[in-house]
Amino acid sequence: MELFEVIRARQSVRAYQSRGIEADQLNAILSAANQSPSAGNLQAYQIILIREQPLIRELVKATYNQDFIAQAPIVLVFCADTERSGAKYGEAGRRLFCVQDATIATAYAQLAATALGLATCWIGAFDEKKVVGLLGLRTGLRPVAILPVGWPAESPPRTPRRSVDELMSEVRRPTTESARG
């Protein structure tokens, strides 16, 4: 698929087939994430792979019981590495850059999965402390996005979007005329 087709094809899918995912498909998704840009090229994120069903079912509880996640053969948890970015950028790295790094990687992974015909849904509603505890994340790793990945078992209607005109605004320097009032 061409890039713009992939972007158009991606949508949140919340039902998956029982079919598993091949190792090369998983590798393609992770390699795409690995190509994403990051602050200072630090790649201040860690991707946690979960494919054991009992663990996925435990994870569901930490997502306020978004049960459909348990249908997915694999789940990726994208974590911001606050220490890695903080070591170079201090507060901005800990608070913002590592979160941006992790979210961009998540977006790349979503698009790569779509290009392979796979489906995902970005899960942002979860109890952070529970996820940290369940996955035994080391200090400094902060989960920011949970991504179930599987073969689609539904074709939901497209979600609407704001118009580009509404979400974009242009700022121009005031002309000398208008500046004078």
Ligand X SMILES: Cc1cc2nc3c(=O)[nH]c(=O)nc-3n(C[C@H](O)[C@H](O)[C@H](O)COP(=O)(O)O)c2cc1C
Per CB under 6 A, residues contacting ligand X are 11-12, 14, 66, 121-125, 159
**Residue nearer to ligand X on the CB measure, 21 or 144:** 144
H helices of 43-172, in order, are 53-62, 82-92, 98-115, 128-135, 164-167
**Residue nearer to ligand X on the CB measure, 161 or 173:** 161
Q: Which residue number places its CB atom closest to ligand X?
A: 124
Alpha-carbon Rg for the chain, nearest whole angstrom, is: 19
**Residue nearer to ligand X on the CB measure, 78 or 97:** 78
- Nearest approach in angstroms of CB 68 to ligand X is 8
Separation CA 155–CA 15 (nearest Å): 9
- Nearest approach in angstroms of CB 134 to ligand X is 16
DSSP 3-state of 49: strand
Antiparallel, parallel or unpaired: β 119-120 and 45-50:
unpaired
- Nearest approach in angstroms of CB 63 to ligand X is 7
